[in-house]
Amino acid sequence: MSAKTIDAPETKIVSSWRVSCDGGVGALGHPRVWLEIPRDAGFVECGYCDTKYVHESRASDEA
């Protein structure tokens, strides 16, 4: 029996401090939510799909 793997959540670099996420796969996604990126952290993660949104000013910190 082979081990199953789960893909790592996606990371997106964005230019806005406020972003929306809907899962990105049409009807198979999730309800659209609006997320505010805290300026001290520089990123936020979607509670539904775990996509990580990193503000462009902090992208080098997350690399």
Q: What is the CATH number of domain 11-60?
A: 2.60.260.40
Say which residue, 57 or 60, is predicted with more confidence.
57
Q: For residue 13, is pLDDT > 80?
A: yes
User: What amino acid is encoded at 39 in this protein?
Assistant: R
Which tens digits make up the pLDDT trace of 19-38? 999 998 778 899 999 999 99
Contact 58, 44 (CB under 8 A): no
Q: For residue 63, is pLDDT > 60?
A: no
Q: For residue 1, is pLDDT > 80?
A: no
